[in-house]
Each structure stands twice: as structure tokens, then as C-alpha cells.
Amino acid sequence: MIPTWAQIGYLVAAVCFIVALKALSNPRTARTGNLVGAAGAVLAVLITFAAYKPDHLAPILIALIIGTIGGVIGSRRVQMTQMPQLVALFNGVGGGAAALVALLELGEVSADATVAAIATAFTILVGAISFSGSVVTFAKLQELMTTRPVTFPGLPVLFVASILGGVALGVWLVSDPRVWVGILLCLVGLAIGVMLVLPVGGADVPIVISLLNAFTGLTVAAGGYVLGNTLLLIAGTLVGAAGTLLTKLMADAMGRSVFNILFGAVRGGSTLGGGTASERPVISGGPEDVAILLGYANRVIVVPGYGLAVAQAQHTLRDLVDELQSRGVKVDYAIHPVAGRMPGHMNVLLAEAQVPYEQLREMDDINGDFKSTDVVLVVGANDVVNPAARNTPSAPIYGMPILNADEAQRVIFLKRSMRPGFAGIENELLYDPRTTLLFGDARESLTKLLGALKTV
């Protein structure tokens, strides 16, 4: 029986999680929300030690210390460009931990406790799917394997057979909760997770991360039921609901269904294009040319993308914008919902450079302004301004809402090369007579551009 004081403490921790989730919805309060959530987690751990007085305390503390050190070092050293990979790993660890706990609890589940057995089977299967799927998403984003969809003959049949096998093993486990059946169910779940993510192209992997995050939340909630822990039930439900909503919102932002994202390649489509650079002529310029275009503009919109994160050029971009504003130029940042590698990637990146939140405008809010904009400065973005999403039905991004950069008077692209974006298709806007390209590393190009602007 959990003491009353422990139940109250768990309730406080649950409130911390709810407050944290709400605070994370706004960049201004996100940091505070993160700290509140962390405080709730620490409180929950301390209460658990005090209330349950677990056996084998020494190895538990050693594991906590190792995990804490690894988490701190990993989080502090990770680059902003690698944040989605870190999220995938953390998510996978959560799903794997839930599956292991459920396996260990099998010995405590009696044959007549049907609901508990169902929750245990669900946790094992879905937790294993989340773990192996997250590992594959990490490998794709880290480019340890190809980012292109991976399919092979018979994959759909094998995938469906694995799901049916998982359901059959789950039913077996409910009727006869044996550990070896649980282990088989876990192995089938690991296989399903791999086959679920392999056919997904690199541009769609962040959506799969969000979906797997929802899976992990559901397994934690089910694990909370098995363990009789209300806090886990609440926390898991919050994560599951948030992950599900985020997955739907991201899919809508790309103009596609979750089913198409997951199984488009299996059905014969693809989430990636050819991935080869074109040799068609483009208009390129130097920092001085671009500085003149920006310096004499009245209205400028900046479109940041993954290339900005790779170059860690957010501070230099902020300096450039400050210089433009000191000249009376009105400047805003246009933020696409899936710019970068995860939702909010650009918001967090620009927040590092102390960019005022009022200048960060979402796609739906700013799209109508492009027609009255003198210059659009695209820094490291590609697919989110690609007109193929509107004009080319055969394009893998067709139907995805984009920023209307092509409606501006002039467009400037800062690019390393003519290599296509993550979706692997050409951007016709690069070949538009109104477009000027400034080649080079984003930070170096912005530094030269800032110097040239000061002389205009």
C-alpha cells in the first residue's frame, strides 16, 4: 500500500508534468517548462525510493549514476543538428525500458488477472516496436545507413505476418503468462519496429520519431497500470496524446496522411526523389551583389532551414538582421512547421541567438506577406519553399503546404551546392530569373554578407 504522503507527492509530480507540457508549447516558457518537468521526475524518483525502500539499492544507484552521467554528457555535447537523433535515442530507451519492466513483471501476473495480462502483453510488444524503430530512425538521421526508403520483395507480407504473429503471441501470453512467450513477443516486436521504419524516407523520419514517441507514451501508461503506479499512467498518457497530436499536425503540414508516410514506398511510391544535382545554369552572385539587394529593400523575409543549423550560423544571421533593421528594413523570419529535422527546430535554433519571438512568424501567418516582400533570404532551406509541392503531382512532396517565397520580388538562396534538399528533388525556384544564389558555408557567407552590407 502506497503511503498517503507518497500519493500526494506523486500528484505534485504529475502536476509538474502537465505544467511542463503546457509550457513547452511556447518558446518563451519552454526552458522553464523543461526544468519543471525535470523537477517532477526527480521528485517521483525520490518518492519511489522513500516509499518502497527497494532491495538491491547499490546496483540501482549505480545504474542511476551511470545513466545520469551519460545523459548529461550526451545532451550537453550534442549539436543542434543532431537533436532529432538524440530525441530518437531517448525515445527508444523509454520504450525498451517499458518492455523490459513488463517482461520482469510477467512472473507476478496471475492467469486470472486478464486486464493486467493484456496491459503487459501490449507493453512488451509496443515497447519493443518503439525501441527498434527508434534505433533505425537514429541510424537514418545520423546517416549510418541510407536515408532512402529500404524495401525488399516480400516485405509487406512479412510485415503483416509479423503483426499477426505478434497479436497471436499476445493472446497466448494473456491466457498463459509465461516468460518465454513474452520473450518471443518482444523479439517479434523488435522485428516489426525495424520493418516499420525501413521503408520511410529520410525526409519523413521526424514524423516517425513523433509516432514512436506516442508508442512509448502508451507503453509507459500501460506499464503504470501493470505496476499500479498512477504517476506512470498519467505521464504515459500525456506523452502518448502529445505524440499522437504532433504526428497528425506534422503529417498535415506535409499535406500527406500518416499511412502514406509509413507505407508509401511499400506500395510502390517513394518519399525521396533522385537526389542528384542538376547542371542547369543559375544566376549566382557575390556578397557585394546580395548586400545591395538587401540594403536597398524595404521588406525582407528570412527563411531558415537545416543548413543554418549545420553551419551554426544563427548568431551571424541575427547580426545581419540587426544591421538591416538599423537601416529601417522590416525583417521577419518565416518558420515552416517541418523546417529542419523536427518541429520547433528553427525556433530553438534562433532562440539561441536571442532572436525576438515576435519576429518568428508561422507559415499560415506570414504566407500572405510574400507578395509585398522585396527580398526573401533563404538560408539553408530548400524543400519548404519548393514550388513542386504545388505544381508537380509526381513530386514526393506534392500537396505539402510551403512558404510562398516564389511570390516575392527577389529571392536569395544561401547554399553550399546545387545538391537537392532532403526530399531529393530539384527546386525550380533556383532557376528562376528573380533568384540569386550565394554559394558557400552559411556562416561564412553571412559573415561576408554582413561585412559587405556595412559598406553599402
Grid cell locating 116? 493486467
Locate the DSSP E strands across 132-274. none
Other CB atoms within a 10 A radius of the CB of residue 222 amount to 27
Annotated active-site residue 383? The verdict is: yes
Angle ∠(201,217,241) on CA atoms, nearest 5: 85
Residue 96 cell numbers, joined:
525498451
DSSP state of 439: E
- Which residues have C-beta within 8 Å of that of residue 376, sequence separation ≥ 6? 300, 301, 302, 303, 334, 370, 385, 405, 408, 410, 411, 412
Q: Give me the catalytic one of 252, 383, 406, 441.
A: 383
**Do the beta carbons of residue 202 and residue 141 sit within 8 Å?**
yes
In whole angstroms, give the CA distance from residue 401 to residue 24.
24
End-to-end CA, the chain: 75
Strand-pair partners of 412 = 377, 436
Counting runs of H as helices and runs of E as strands, what totals does the chain give? 17, 6
Contact partners, residue 349, CB within 8 Å, separation at least 6: 80, 304, 308, 309, 314, 340
CA distance 85 to 89: 6
- Decide: residue 257, CB within 10 A, 0-12 exposed, 13-18 middle, 19+ buried: middle
Instruction: Find where cell 500518416 sits.
Output: 258
List Cβ neighbours of 180 (8 Å cut-off, separation of 6 or more): none
What DSSP string runs through 6-65? HHHHHHHHHHHHHHHHHHTTSTTTHHHHHHHHHHHHHHHHHHHHHHH--SSHHHHHHHHH
Question: How far apart, in whole angstroms, are the C-alpha atoms of residue 255 and residue 405?
Answer: 18
Catalytically active residues, by annotation = 383
